């Protein structure tokens, strides 16, 4: 991977450290923007129907529109997701002092992963899924529990079935992921650490639903514990496609899930690391624009 990527990010981080502390009104303005845009885009990537304006109104005023075309569950999902953002204190951490950031112990556990699933899922329900043979059936999505049925997906590009970790493999690979993170959190650059964690989590796909949102929450938890701003993966058509393309290109480098947990294969994640680099740079630009507005 090009070293200029991490160097450019580090220069941005130094800039952010040097402008702290900001005036309270500026901090509030930036926090509000990240809170609304992160919640909106992370849910809109999963086809939540709320607009950016409706998301703002809901999070700031708890206003629920009477538009009959809007599903009540879409409002509920946005609220649940926002509770997870608050639980991880993602917007608060944006302006923590350096000493406070360093005092926090960054730990990802099986319990935390399941807690996030519980916060944003809230209640059990049924979901349509596809098995490894391409057959569609329904499964019970159970809060707090890892998947009970295979949750493979059909690729959009070639219509083949792409396999995630099996039901039996899931707790084993989650344990491997947690160990990998603990062993490398002080070794890899935070951008590399968070990007690879995101990809590994998605390749496991441990839950029957809401895997993507949990992955993005944990990715931001990692970055923000190193002082970086919230990273928003935009749901706009081009950005959404770039997100999935970066994942697919990385998939091609790691065809078998066992390869995902092989040591010393950082170069195989370059496509996704570079994608996350662009999104993180965009977050720094948001802060710069709000300060200079």
The rounded distance, in Å, linking the Cα atoms of 2 and 42 is 28
pLDDT digits (tens, 9 = 90+) for 90-138: 888 777 666 666 657 899 999 999 999 999 988 888 877 666 676 777 8
Higher-confidence residue: 229 or 139? 229
The CATH architecture that domain 3-292 belongs to is Orthogonal Bundle (1.10)
The rounded distance, in Å, linking the Cα atoms of 144 and 48 is 22
Mapped onto helix, strand or coil, the DSSP state of residue 129 is: strand
The rounded distance, in Å, linking the Cα atoms of 145 and 171 is 10
pLDDT recorded at residue 195: 98
pLDDT recorded at residue 31: 93
pLDDT recorded at residue 71: 79
pLDDT recorded at residue 86: 94
Question: For the purposes of burial, counting CB atoms within 10 Å of the CB of 141, is it exposed (0-12), middle (13-18) or buried (19 or more)?
Answer: buried
Per-residue burial over 194-216, b if 16 or more Cβ lie within 10 Å, else e, is bbbbbbbbbbbbbbbbbbbbbbb
Residue 255: closest CA among 241, 273, 268: 268
Average pLDDT over residues 167-191: 96
pLDDT recorded at residue 103: 57
Average pLDDT over residues 287-291: 93
Name the token pair of 1: 């991977």
pLDDT for 156 beyond 60: no
pLDDT for 1 beyond 60: no
Higher-confidence residue: 144 or 178? 178
In this predicted structure, which of 82-86, 97-101, 139-143, 257-261 has the lowest mean pLDDT?
A: 97-101
Highest mean pLDDT out of 15-19, 73-77, 155-159, 202-206: 202-206
pLDDT recorded at residue 23: 86
pLDDT for 206 beyond 60: yes
The band of 80, judged by pLDDT with boundaries at 50, 70 and 90, is very high
pLDDT recorded at residue 22: 83
Residue 224: closest CA among 290, 283, 289: 283
Per-residue burial over 103-113, b if 16 or more Cβ lie within 10 Å, else e, is eeebebeeebb
Average pLDDT over residues 239-252: 95
The band of 140, judged by pLDDT with boundaries at 50, 70 and 90, is confident
Name the token pair of 30: 């930036």
- What are the two backbone dihedrals, phi and then psi, of residue 161, each rounded to the nearest 5 degrees? -90, 125
pLDDT recorded at residue 142: 83
Residue 61: closest CA among 78, 44, 41: 78
pLDDT recorded at residue 66: 62
The rounded distance, in Å, linking the Cα atoms of 210 and 139 is 14
Angle at CA of residue 140, ends 136 and 143, nearest 5°: 135
Name the packing angle between helices 3-19 and 190-204 (round to 10°).
110
User: Read out DSSP for 223-282?
Assistant: HHTTTPPPPP---SHHHHHHHHHHHHHHHHH--SHHHHT-SS-GGGGHHHHHHHHHHHHH
Report the percent of the chain where pLDDT is more than 70.
Answer: 90
The rounded distance, in Å, linking the Cα atoms of 221 and 229 is 10
pLDDT for 37 beyond 60: yes
The rounded distance, in Å, linking the Cα atoms of 9 and 6 is 5
Compute the mean pLDDT over every residue in the chain, rounded to the nearest whole number: 89
Average pLDDT over residues 38-60: 95
pLDDT digits (tens, 9 = 90+) for 213-223: 999 999 999 99
Q: Specify which residues 139 forms β-bridges with.
A: 127
Let me know: does 224 contact 94? Beta carbons within 8 Å: yes
Give yes or no for a cis peptide into 21 (omega within 30° of 0).
yes
């Amino acid at each position: 991977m090009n070293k200029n990527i991490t160097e450019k990010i580090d220069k941005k981080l130094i800039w952010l450290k040097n402008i702290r502390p900001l005036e309270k009104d500026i901090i509030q303005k930036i926090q509000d923007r990240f809170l609304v845009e992160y919640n909106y885009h992370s849910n809109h990537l999963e086809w939540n129907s709320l607009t950016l304006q409706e998301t703002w109104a809901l999070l700031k005023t708890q206003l629920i529109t009477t538009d009959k075309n809007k599903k009540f569950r879409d409002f509920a999902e946005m609220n649940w997701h926002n509770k997870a953002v608050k639980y991880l204190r993602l917007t608060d951490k944006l302006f923590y002092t350096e000493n406070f950031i360093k005092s926090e112990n960054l730990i990802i556990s099986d319990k935390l992963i399941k807690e996030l699933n519980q916060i944003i899922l809230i209640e059990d329900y049924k979901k349509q899924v596809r098995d490894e043979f391409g057959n569609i059936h329904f499964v019970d999505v159970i809060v707090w529990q890892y998947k009970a049925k295979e949750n493979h997906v059909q690729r959009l590009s070639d219509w083949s079935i792409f396999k995630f970790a099996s039901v039996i493999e899931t707790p084993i690979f989650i344990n491997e992921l947690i160990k990998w993170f603990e062993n490398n959190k002080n070794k890899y650059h935070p951008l590399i650490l968070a990007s690879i964690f995101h990809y590994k989590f998605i390749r496991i796909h441990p839950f029957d639903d809401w895997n993507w949102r949990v992955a993005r929450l944990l990715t931001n938890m990692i970055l923000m514990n190193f002082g970086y701003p919230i990273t928003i993966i935009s749901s706009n058509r081009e950005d959404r496609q770039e997100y999935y393309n970066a994942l697919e290109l990385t998939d091609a480098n790691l065809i078998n899930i066992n390869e995902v947990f092989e040591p010393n294969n950082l170069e195989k994640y370059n496509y996704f690391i570079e994608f996350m680099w662009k999104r993180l740079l965009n977050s720094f630009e948001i802060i710069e624009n709000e300060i200079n507005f």
